Amino acid sequence: MSVYTIIEENELKDFLSNYDVGELTDFKGISDGIENTNYFVDTDRGRYVLTIFEQHDFEEMQYFLNLMHHLADHQVPSANPVADRQGHYLSLFKDKPIALVERLKGGSITETTVSHCEQLGAAMGKMHAAGLSFDQRQENPRGPAWCQHTAQKVIDKLGDDDRAMLDEEVHYQRDQRHADLPRGVIHADLFRDNALWDKGADKDGDDIFSGIIDFYYSCDDVLLYDLAVAANDWCINEDFSLNRDKVIALLSHYNEYRPLADNEQKYWPAMLRAGALRFWLSRLYDMHFPRDGELVQTKNPDEFKFIISDRIKQSASYLDYWI
């Protein structure tokens, strides 16, 4: 969520005049993230997030915003887009898609507990179950074909050891999207910074899950892959290995809403590796081919190199990190 496109106060007021959200009181750019331009927007009637989409076209964005509304309408804790006075969720600003979304209570966390993983698992189960009734489809733009293409672009930037690891992992993953695995709508980017928490809000002072945000990589793919992406961020130890208690918490509470299929366990280690590869590649690309922006954040790709290395070494052990 870096700031690439500047919106001035008078431009924002003009934009908001087409929404029934009241008068602008404050706004500021958000520096977290790397893909789109985002602003916090406060009015005298509510708090919102304004997003200018830098890389998605108008048709893609229709899918994302319709999905977000569908999930919110099915009681999935998530950000809900705001319709303008004509009933549209999407418009254009400087020839780029732009949308206004309700701002959820709370903030993201940097350290996770078993309780966090339990609540996230339940939310993901609800999301995947609700997604089964969503009637629009979109293939994963960062699936196996994208991985192969991006690897070709970045591989010459790497040292010998990293080049060899990347080449081997891309070859391994070519045949890992198995047709017999359950598929549906996935978030595809459910890291800690894409979930919000009402901190210390329950009677014991624990955090309460507020909702999922940033659905702008959402697509149709293997549901297990979405769980793997989440586990690689939410359920790790300081050395990037998986924390068994957190993985079990994530999967068991997920299973209450979307029961895991009998054949999913055997593919769990491969999906963990696939999720790590996708983000190693995207971070490598962002580091070696940066985009211009006023507030730009580039994340360290080495974290996912270490994760891939661990997932390869411990594939047999992680097969038993299951319910």
DSSP letters spanning 43-103: ETTEEEEEEE-SS--HHHHHHHHHHHHHHHHTT-SB--BPP-TTS-S-EEETTEEEEEEEP
Residue 221 included in any domain = yes
Residue 168 included in any domain = yes
Structure tokens that stand for 37 in this block: 């331009």
Cα 143 from chain centre:
14
Tell me: do 148 and 287 sit in the same domain. yes
Domain boundary among 39, 68, 102: 102
Residue 109 included in any domain = no
- DSSP, res 28: E
Q: For the residues 202-213, what does the mean pLDDT come to?
A: 94
- Give residue 1's pLDDT band: very low, low, confident or very high (50, 70, 90): very low
Tell me: do 125 and 148 sit in the same domain. yes
Q: Which amino acid is at 313?
A: K
Residue 323 included in any domain = no
20 CB-contact burial (10 Å; exposed 0-12 / middle 13-18 / buried 19+): exposed
Q: Rounded to whole angstroms, how far apart are CA atoms 268 and 280?
A: 19
Judge whether residue 178 has pLDDT over 90. no
| Number of domains, the chain | 2
C-beta of residue 233 within 8 angstroms of C-beta of residue 192: yes
- Give residue 200's pLDDT band: very low, low, confident or very high (50, 70, 90): confident
The pLDDT tens digits for 268-295 are 999 999 999 999 999 999 999 987 765 5
Query: Inter-axis angle of helices 223-234 and 268-288, to 10 degrees?
Result: 70
Q: Which amino acid is at 39?
A: Y
DSSP string, 171-211: HHHTT-S-TTS-EEEE-S---GGGEEEETT-STTS--EEEE
**Residues pairing with 150 in the sheet:** none
Tell me: do 162 and 248 sit in the same domain. yes
Q: For the residues 290-304, what does the mean pLDDT come to?
A: 77
What local confidence, expressed as pLDDT, does residue 258 receive? 98
Q: For the residues 85-89, what does the mean pLDDT come to?
A: 97
Q: Which of 114, 38, 126, 128 is nearest to 77 (CA)?
A: 126
**Residues pairing with 60 in the sheet:** none
% of the chain exceeding 90 in pLDDT: 88
Beta strands per DSSP E along 35-107: 37-43, 46-52, 91-93, 96-102
The mean of the pLDDT values for the chain is 94
Tell me: do 133 and 231 sit in the same domain. yes
- Give residue 296's pLDDT band: very low, low, confident or very high (50, 70, 90): low
The pLDDT tens digits for 90-118 are 999 999 999 999 999 999 999 999 999 99
Neighbouring residues of 49: CB distance < 8 A, sequence distance ≥ 6: 30, 38, 39, 40, 41, 79, 100, 101, 102, 103, 213
Structure tokens that stand for 264 in this block: 């999913």
The pLDDT tens digits for 223-258 are 999 999 999 999 999 999 999 999 999 999 999 999
Tell me: do 95 and 190 sit in the same domain. no
DSSP string, 108-177: --SS--HHHHHHHHHHHHHHHHHHTT-----B-TTSHHHHHHHHHHHGGGS-HHHHHHHHHHHHHHTT-S
For CA atoms 245, 250, 251, 255, the dihedral sign is positive
Tell me: do 135 and 258 sit in the same domain. yes
Q: Rounded to whole angstroms, how far apart are CA atoms 185 and 226?
A: 9
Tell me: do 133 and 80 sit in the same domain. no
The pLDDT tens digits for 122-175 are 999 999 999 999 999 999 999 999 999 999 999 999 999 999 999 999 999 987
CB atoms within 10 A of CB 291: 13
Tell me: do 19 and 75 sit in the same domain. yes
Tell me: do 215 and 98 sit in the same domain. no
Domain limits for position 97: 9-102
Tell me: do 264 and 175 sit in the same domain. yes
Tell me: do 146 and 224 sit in the same domain. yes
Q: For the residues 189-197, what does the mean pLDDT come to?
A: 97
Which CATH number fits the domain that encloses residue 48?
Answer: 3.30.200.20
Tell me: do 176 and 312 sit in the same domain. yes
Q: Which of 146, 139, 108, 145 is nearest to 282 (CA)?
A: 146
What local confidence, expressed as pLDDT, does residue 33 receive? 54
Rg (CA), the chain: 20
Which CATH number fits the domain that encloses residue 252?
Answer: 3.90.1200.10
**Residues pairing with 43 in the sheet:** 24, 46
